[in-house]
Every structure is written in C-alpha cells, then in structure tokens.
A = this chain, B = another copy of it.
Amino acid sequence: MNSEYPSQLLENAVNQFASLPGIGRKTSLRLVLNLLRRSQTDVLNFTNSLVNLKNEVKYCRICHNISDTDVCSICSSTRRNRQLVCVVENIQDVMSIERTGQYNGLYHVLGGVISPIEGVGPNDIEVESLVSRIVPEQIEEVVFALPATIEGDTTNYYIYKRLQPFNIITTQIARGVAVGNELEYTDEITLGRSIINRTEFKG
C-alpha cells in the first residue's frame, strides 16, 4: 500500500472531513466510517442537507442574518422593538442573544470585525449597510455586542464615529465578572475594569 488508507475513495472522504476546523484525521476517519455504515438514503439526506443549504440559503437584505426569506423573521416581525438595533459579528451571536430571551430589538450582522492584521477593513464588513439603516426618527439606539477584543473595540469605535452625525444613543453590552465566577479566577483586566465601571447597588 502506498497510502495509509486501504481505499482511495475512503482517503478522499477522510481528507474532506479533516479540512473542517477542529477535526483531525483520526476523528475524520471515525466520522466517515460512521456515515459509511448508514443506508444510502441516510447518506443522501446528509449530503443533500448541505447542498440545499449552499444553493438555497438567503441572507436577510436588512440585517444580513441567515434566512430562508428575503427579509428574515426578526426584521419582519411586528412584535420586535424596531427602534433598537444590536450590532453583532456573526450569525451565532444572534442565536446566543436570542437564547437569553433578554432582547427584543432588531439586529445587524457585520459578518466580521475590523482587523488590520488579517486584512479586514471597514469595507469588508457590513458597516455601510448599517449606516444606511439609521433613520433618526425610526432608530433610537444602537447596541454594540461585538467581541471584547482589540478587533471588537476597534470596530465599535469606527462605527461609533460613523454614527456621530446622527442623533442616536450608542451603547455597549456590559463587561465584567461572569455570573457564577469566583473573583479569584477572573482575569486581572476584567476584574480591574469591573471595579472602574461599578454600577449602583440597589439593595
């Protein structure tokens, strides 16, 4: 055998799965052999779910979240507070905030954050479409919910500057000690900032 694998077909499939993030070659082989043990119909259901997603998926033309329709269910909902727009990096972040049940406004998915190191500038993400959404009488507040990283902060600041001409409120989600965490295990920067940014305790 020239190859480590007894079959070229097997090797091809293993190579494909191993190209996914966090999937090594051993895990990949395990996943492929698991699929191989299934029926032909099951394998087709698996692959069709991907092909259909790739071919038919839409992105909401207002907030750029993934959607089955031109305008997503959040942007078209009459039950949401349309004066509030929460700016997030990606689709997963929308899902995370929705799961909290604590937010009832709209979203804007940037599709990334500004990162000079990775060559991502303001024009590579959905900043212009955010700015063009801002109609001062209709939108009251923009909430930044970007990652608490240098790239997230840079993006916050860039968008903040772009929104200054409009007379709207800009806020940022709270940073501090995570609920349930011991102070002892909270990193110094987070703990330091949580002291500076302490809020009134209303017993």
Contact = CB atoms under 8 A, between A and B. Distances in A.
B40 A54 contact: yes
A98 to B, nearest CB: 7
Nearest to A95: B4
A58 B31 CA distance: 18
B73 A10 contact: no
Contacts of A36: 53-54, 57
A9 B91 contact: no
Interface of A: 1, 4-10, 12-13, 15-16, 19-23, 27, 29-36, 40, 43-58, 65-68, 72-74, 90-92, 94-95, 98-99
Given A6-B73, A6-B94, A36-B57, 10 more contacts: A5-B95, A6-B67, A6-B74, A6-B91, A20-B31, A20-B34, A32-B53, A33-B90, A35-B50, A36-B53
